[in-house]
Amino acid sequence: MADEPECITIQHVLVSFQDTPVQAERSQADAEQLAQSILERAQKGEDFADLVREYSDDPIQEGDPAPGTYSLLNHGQQGQDFAEVIGELNGRAAEQEAALTKRIEEGELSTEKAQEEMNAFIEGLQAEAEERQATFAHPRGAMVPAFGDVGFALGVEEVGLAIYDKDASPFGWHVIKRLA
């Protein structure tokens, strides 16, 4: 563990079954067999993003070019707290609101037009927040243990399997590819 990297980027396929928190419809035996099959296909070079899209029980956003991708920080290191990001975005919203209020008071802008501008500004901030959250590095300890243990043990472009364990991997099997 001492020579593990500080941060990695991984992509994974979650294969769950009926008795996990995700509650996929397959049996535990079927999930294990599917996870092994996906692992073998990935190790033979099949496009991993396609495997994620086809098989992962983790939520996937439509059109995501890198579904199931996470950046993980090692050894309890702290990245920027997402609450700090929200605070920054809220600060920008307050500045925009103050600027629009000033323009209304100076007669440059109607209240209705200011509200339209503010709504558009807020929509942009919400999209930015979602994008930044999607690429946010997660502390290793915030993930199930097997996820980080396998991810950090892999070399770049290697694929591995975190097997189901009620404590170390309670959501099912994770087929993991280390990207960076």
Q: What is the pLDDT of residues 13-72, one digit of tens each?
A: 999 999 899 879 999 999 999 999 999 999 999 999 999 999 999 988 888 888 998 888
Q: How many CB atoms lie within 10 A of CB 135?
A: 11
Band of the pLDDT at 77, cuts 50, 70, 90? very low
> What SS3 class is residue 161?
strand
Residue listed under structure tokens 């802008």: 109
pLDDT at 7 over 70: yes
Neighbours of 15 (CB within 10 A): 30
Residue appearing with tokens 């956003």? 61
Residues 6+ apart with CB under 8 A from 125: 89, 92, 93
Q: Which of 6, 132, 10, 23 minimizes the C-alpha distance to 75?
A: 6
Mean pLDDT across the chain: 87
- Mean pLDDT, rounded, for 158-167: 96
Measure the CA–CA gap between 103 and 171, rounded to whole angstroms: 53
Where is average pLDDT lowest: 34-38, 137-141, 167-171?
Answer: 137-141
What distance in Å separates the CA atoms of residue 141 and residue 148, rounded to the nearest whole number? 8
Please provide the distance, in angstroms rounded to a whole number, between the alpha carbons at the two ends of the chain: 17
Neighbours of 151 (CB within 10 A): 27
Alpha carbon of 148 to those of 87, 144, 145, 169, 179: distances in Å? Answer: 29, 7, 6, 10, 14
At residue 37, the pLDDT reads: 98
Give the pLDDT score at 44. Answer: 97
CA distances from 85 to 7, 135, 136, 152 (A): 20, 12, 10, 26
For the entire predicted model, the pTM comes to 0.68
